[in-house]
Amino acid sequence: MVSYKRLSPEDVQFTNAVASEEAPVREEGKDPEETDRPLLPRRPSCSATTALISLGSLLLLVCGLWLLVTIFWLQAPSNSVPHRAPPPRGSPGTGGGDGSRALPEPQACGVVPEAWRFDCYPERGVVVTRELCEARNCCFIPASSFPPAPGRNGVPWCFYPPGFPSYSLVSVNATDLGQTGTLVKTVKTYYPKDILTLQLELLYETDHRLRVRITDPSESRFEVPIAVPKATEKASSPAYSVELSNEPFGIIVKRTSTGAVLLNTTVAPLFYCDQFLQLSSSLSSQYIYGLGEHRSSFLHDIHWNTLTMWARDVAPTELTNLYGVHPFYLAMDEGGTGTAHGFFLLNSNAMDVVLQPGPAITWRTIGGILDFYVFLGPDPASVIGQYLEVVGYPAMPVYWALGYHLCRWGYGSSNATWDVVKNMRNYGIPQDVQWNDIDYMDRSLDFTFDPTAFSTLPDMVKDLHSHGQRYVMMLDPGISSVQPEGGYWPYDEGLRRGVFINHTDGSTLIGKVWPGLTAFPDFSDDVTHEWWYDNLKRFHDKVPFDGLWIDMNEPSSFVDGSTVGCPDTELENPPYTPGILGGLLRAKTLCASAVQKTSSHYNMHSLYGLLEAKASARALKRMLGKRAFVISRSTFPSQGQYSGHWLGDNRSHWKDMYTSIAGMLTFNLLGVPLVGADICGFSEQTEEELCVRWTQLGAFYPFTRNHNSIDQKPQDPPAFSPRARSAMKQSLLLRSSLFPLLYTLFHRAHTHGHTVARPLLFEFPKDVRTYGIDRQFLWGKSLMVTPVLDPGVDYVVGYFPQGLWYDYYTGDSIRSKGEELRLKAPLDHINLHLREGAVIPTQRPNTTLFVSSGQPLHLVSSLSEDGSAGGELFWDDGESIDTLETDQYAHVVFTVVKNTMTSEVLHDHVEASYITVETASFYGVKVEPTRVTVNSHDAAFTYRANQVLTVTDLGLNLSQNFTISWI
């Protein structure tokens, strides 16, 4: 749910005159004429004579500028190498003893290409004039390009000249893990509290991971409190080389195998002030991914695109900071080599990340330290694995988390909720989990349920359990502070234990959420974790829920800061505020100056959802003795260890369905593979066709949930026509049949940091045509999904990378040279294709995974040109904690070579003995067999003209090795 009434992107006001992509939005409270004023101030009117003289002077100036630009253009590199990074900047000006500096020479300003102009005046809401710019000793040149698109910054008119004062590297010393150095700056810049002496630490942690820390040696500063690995020895054969520029200071990181420059911070000056830290670098190419959470295409636009990070409750909207903060990007190297690298800034403060067409990036944060990692890959999947080695691999989900979830805000009663579940059963539509939104609570109070409307809630949950189904409830962090003393244990006990976030004077900070005035638990305190567990346990004794949905945890509040406002301090009003929605750090959240145990909310804000998820997962494991199921709205690096994520309060629009794919793929990069969007849309009324197509797509979200808003018509499958209902049921049964594959993919994510839903570029990194694809995706290496994302069509166009592909349903083969193909897509069909060389395990589906997981297996092999294929299956009881570590699992590998499939049990467990292999299909068997044997015994088979061999009635025990051969 959201803390506003159906806010659409068109309604969002941007404090920096940035609007949504549909239409520019005028800032509130501004005079129209003031809003539309030109960037340069108007001059007073003048006489005709003066006008003629001015015109002549202007013509001379234009001619002079034209001559300079022409000379520069003639000397510039060929267009065959566009936007090459400029050489390291020259020495900074010395300036006077009072910190003054001479203005930059016009000639020096004119040689800086537009693509490499780094913004010297990034503040929002300021009309930057020449006078303001030059007061910072920066270059002022109005951009020659057309005005930017609505919501874009465009080429900065005020930018750093060559030689702008920066730090110098005055000493370097070798250490056991790398190098350490001292950085010194002699000239102060225009942000207050410059830190003039810094310590540099280079840590060669592994052959594929470099860590760089830049800190204040004289005073400790806030550092993000998440566990990261501590290297004990220096990398012996690093895949990277590091060069240090002394003056101005800069770091250049290259890939040793190719010499490709992955990081070059000499392109712009380094800033390190108390509340303004800025680091810029060249990028290796225009292909940048990650940098969550934002609504955008999967491949980011680098044309003057500012991505702001500060957790915020707002419906997914372009150019807006959303629920989570993930300062990590994946970049493909230039030239289509297929190599990739990653960059992670370990910082939780509000920040802007600026992408510009150099290509280059600027990190601009208002606190903490500069602590960053470079990951060398070399392939995209390896980059993600290396990133997750730092922030933590995702947890292995409980098996029912991968089923179909159904929810809505506004069922109205437990009996109405129960009726939906019964309808699903009557129609034989798969459903594993039923949820309730906030309306199940008594007056929106956490850890309560409405004694009248939801009086049968405990009975409903017991009924779900008796049918192999599960129940998930919503919890918000805001705890009501206005109940009669002694009448609301969560608040009374929270006050007694001191678990709530406070003002600087020690009083409890009070905001406002659904129950009215509320206090907010401080999840950075272990005392709060124990209090949270106690509340959950007390409620579970009444309603035996199975998982938690934690919402509103940015944290969100309906008032800015608190009910009594916030103090006028530097934490509330920093010298620079990133482009956050609302313009203030406290906008619709808590005071930045609020006190938490670990640090101020200024530093901890974007960690709130992570820490609540951590407390929730710990409590559930302790309470249930099983794997925890938690879905969180707000997220931060390492989130995948504790929860999954849904993509927020989307709308019932076709565009929202499309952008959900980019969100899903991005969160898989960020280590949160259990992710999905609200199927059919949360707000506004869905349409039947949209809901059918979205259910087909949603069946391939790693986390699959249909959820909609209050006052909207129901959108669960039984609410639609028989044709639509049948199509939805078919797609959900299809998902259930693929559970063994999906479960195995999550095992790989948990143990190796792999992605589950995967962009095509991961498997085809040398095919540049895959770099921007976000209308298709893969499950693992081999199953390609091509959904319909447009209304009124019965076909879809999909890109097939070079190789042999098979229609998943029929086994018909497609041999592609790397081309787009038009595919039939009637309303009851989603296109799936298997890549050559795969063996995937499937299962006879049922209405719950509790039943399906005991059904016989069907193995599908998509043979390569040489007749080979391979795959695997991970299997355990689906809910016990740490089954891998305690050897309570089975792992089976399937291999096809020379007309023979071999099953090899690498690790056995009793769970595997309950499963049989019933059938096996082989796509791409070129010659019709005359005989098929199973463990050397003749077996019945069929062979179709499209080269599909199927062997049936196998009855093979999964826990025993077997062979299937044909001649």
The residues annotated with a catalytic role in the active site are 551, 554
Helix, strand, coil tally for the chain in percent (to 5): 25, 25, 50
Q: C-alpha distances in angstroms, 859 versus 270, 734, 738, 781, 921?
A: 57, 15, 11, 16, 6
| Cβ-contact 955, 916 below 8 angstroms | yes
Phi, psi of 785 (to 5 degrees): -110, 125
Omega of the bond prior to 555 within 30 degrees of 0, cis? yes
CB-based burial label for 188 (10 Å; 0-12, 13-18, 19+): middle
CA distances from 673 to 45, 628, 745 (A): 63, 15, 10
Q: Which two tokens stand for residue 62?
A: 């234009």
Q: Cα separation of 393 and 753, whole Å?
A: 5
Cα separation of 634 and 645, whole Å?
A: 8
CA distance linking residue 404 with residue 736, whole number of Å: 9
Helix (H, G, I), strand (E, B) or coil at 738: coil
Burial class for 953, CB neighbours closer than 10 Å (0-12, 13-18, 19+):
exposed
Task: Give the pair of three-digit tokens for residue 438.
Answer: 């906030």
Burial of 380 (0-12, 13-18, 19+ CB in 10 A): buried
Q: Distance between CA atoms of 673 and 749, rounded to whole angstroms?
A: 8
**In terms of C-beta density within 10 A (0-12 exposed, 13-18 middle, 19 or more buried), how is residue 277 classed?**
buried
Q: Whole-angstrom Cα distance, residue 579 to residue 573?
A: 13
CB-CB contact of 350 with 580 (8 Å): yes
Tokens 């592909």 label which residue?
805
- Helix (H) / strand (E) element for 814: namely strand 813-816
Please check whether residue 764 is in contact with residue 801, taking contact to mean a CB–CB distance below 8 angstroms. yes
Closest CA to 86 of 104, 110, 119, 113: 113
Helix (H, G, I), strand (E, B) or coil at 182: strand
Question: Alpha-carbon Rg of the chain, whole angstroms?
Answer: 30
> Which of these, 322, 370, 368, lies nearest to 343 by C-alpha position?
370
Give the 3-state secondary structure of 628-658. CCEEECCCCCCHHHCCEEECCCCECCHHHHH
577: which DSSP letter?
Answer: -
Q: Which amino acid is at 44?
A: P
Residues composing the chain: 967
Please give the Cα distance from 756 to 395 (Å, whole number). Answer: 13
**Distance between CA atoms of residues 248 and 561, nearest Å:** 41
Amino acid at 62: V
Q: Can you read off the two tokens belonging to residue 28?
A: 């509130």
936 sits in the region (left: phi over 0; alpha: psi -120 to 50; else beta) called left
Q: Which token pair is 455?
A: 């009086």
Do β-strands 404-406 and 370-375 pair in parallel, antiparallel, or remain unpaired?
unpaired
What is the arrangement of strands in the sheet containing 271-273, beginning at the earlier edge strand? 271-273, 276-282, 360-365, 351-356, 305-309
